[in-house]
């Protein structure tokens, strides 16, 4: 449904998006995720037609809608897309039904059809009882539902979401994630969703593109990203909790782990980063031959288990265990390292064979 080829967006000498190539199948729910400033919102604005690419092309269903090499782009209103911003951007002088009806009026839909369609989408979002209210008379969560109803009313083939849940409280965010997926399924549209929250990304997406510094570090299903991260950045960005990385180097038949020599032979030819999933690390109050000493940071229950986190300088390790001694902040906690890491990455972050 969406083909992005060599997509680049520069602002002066700064490249916000760099040579991105992605193909999004019909009906997918693609999440663009990454830290602030990684280029995900700029990509969404190019998809919406609000920014013209510096280079590369965007195609919807085989039709080119933006061509940066030729310097042209199809207007947003002509793209068959809907967009919901982080701010709800509702018309304050219009009722809920008036806000939802507005794009249908602009599209010159007959009045009788508009009335029927507005009733349909208000019911789909569960806000039909709010039809006569004004935006200042409803809650933030209700305003977000109105914004989504207004977006889907014209039946766009592509839905674009720019961090739509960031203004909501934690409980409502979880509820709205479910609602958004229900709307996605009901419309059959292809959805592109921007967030910096990897939990949202991994729970909602059929496909995920992890961005860093304007480039796609990895594109795939949530399961692929967790099971086979291609870079150290992806390994430490996705997953709940994410994987641990420990600097390692060969030391004869042993290995140095963050400077500590442990009797583990990883057959290294030089420095690397060893990845360990939280569930593969153990914790104890006393040292063992294969443990690293860190300062206890926090403990929290996770699905009937305990998540223990320790820090040492810039390194932060997290283990998920069935049980653990009681630690207090400042205590020393010893993390036991398995013989075999879950993956190895080169110092530059690329995955090693």
Q: Is 350 contained in some domain?
A: no
Does pLDDT of 266 surpass 90? Answer: yes
Q: Among 24, 54, 59, which residue's Cα sits nearest to residue 39? A: 54
Asked if 293 and 147 sit in the same domain, the reply is no
Residue position matching structure tokens 């205590």 = 331
Name the pTM for this structure. 0.88
pLDDT at position 318 is 97
Which of 237, 269, 290 is the C-terminal boundary of a domain?
A: 237
Q: Among 225, 212, 232, which residue's Cα sits nearest to residue 30? A: 225
Q: Model confidence over 83-132: pLDDT tens digits? A: 998 887 899 999 999 999 999 999 999 999 999 999 999 999 999 999 99
Q: Is 353 contained in some domain?
A: no
Residue 51's CB is within 10 A of a number of other CB atoms, namely 20
Which residue range is the domain that position 331 belongs to? Answer: 244-345
Q: Is 108 contained in some domain?
A: yes
In whole angstroms, give the CA distance from residue 318 to residue 325: 15
Number of domains in the chain: 2
Q: Is 352 contained in some domain?
A: no
40: CATH: 3.40.50.300
Asked if 232 and 257 sit in the same domain, the reply is no
pLDDT grade, residue 285 (50/70/90)?
Answer: very high
Residue position matching structure tokens 């860093």 = 212
Query: Based on the number of CB atoms within 10 Å of its own CB, is 148 exposed (0-12), middle (13-18) or buried (19 or more)?
Result: buried
Asked if 205 and 249 sit in the same domain, the reply is no
| Mean pLDDT, the chain, whole residue set | 94
Tokens of 86: 């982080």
Average pLDDT in the 228-248 region?
94
pLDDT at position 86 is 80
In whole angstroms, give the CA distance from residue 184 to residue 187: 5
In whole angstroms, give the CA distance from residue 216 to residue 23: 12
Asked if 196 and 52 sit in the same domain, the reply is yes
Asked if 277 and 217 sit in the same domain, the reply is no
Q: Is 351 contained in some domain?
A: no
Asked if 319 and 251 sit in the same domain, the reply is yes
């Amino acid at each position: 449904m969406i083909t992005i080829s060599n997509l680049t967006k520069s602002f002066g000498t700064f490249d916000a998006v760099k040579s991105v190539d992605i193909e999004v199948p019909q009906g997918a729910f693609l999440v663009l995720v990454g830290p602030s400033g990684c280029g995900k919102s700029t990509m969404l604005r190019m998809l919406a037609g609000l920014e013209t690419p510096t280079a590369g092309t965007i195609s919807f269903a085989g039709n080119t809608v933006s061509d940066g090499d030729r310097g042209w782009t199809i207007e947003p209103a002509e793209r068959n897309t809907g967009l919901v911003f982080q701010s709800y951007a509702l018309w304050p002088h219009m009722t809920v039904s008036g806000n939802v009806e507005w794009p249908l009026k602009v599209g010159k839909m007959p009045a009788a059809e508009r009335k029927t369609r507005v009733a349909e989408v208000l019911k789909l979002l569960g806000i039909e009882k709010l039809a006569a209210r004004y935006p200042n008379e409803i809650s933030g969560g209700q305003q977000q539902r109105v914004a989504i109803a207004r977006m889907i009313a014209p039946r766009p083939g592509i839905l674009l979401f720019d961090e739509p849940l960031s203004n909501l409280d934690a409980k409502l965010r979880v509820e709205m994630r479910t609602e958004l997926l229900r709307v996605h399924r009901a419309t059959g549209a292809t959805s592109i969703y921007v967030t910096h929250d990897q939990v949202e990304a991994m729970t909602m997406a059929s496909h995920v593109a992890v961005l860093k510094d304007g480039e796609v570090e990895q594109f795939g299903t949530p399961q692929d990203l967790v099971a086979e991260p291609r870079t150290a950045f992806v390994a430490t960005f996705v997953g709940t909790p994410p994987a641990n990385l420990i600097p390692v180097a060969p030391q004869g038949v042993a290995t140095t782990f963050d400077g500590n020599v442990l009797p583990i032979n990883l057959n290294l030819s030089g420095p690397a980063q060893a990845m360990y999933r939280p569930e593969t690390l153990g914790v104890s109050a006393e040292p063992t031959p294969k443990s690293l000493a860190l300062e206890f940071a926090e403990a929290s229950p996770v699905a009937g288990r305990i998540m223990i986190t320790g820090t040492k300088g810039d390194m932060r390790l997290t283990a998920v265990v069935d049980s653990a001694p009681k630690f207090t902040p400042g205590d020393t906690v010893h993390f036991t390292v398995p013989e075999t890491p879950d993956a190895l990455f080169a110092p530059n972050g690329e995955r090693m064979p």
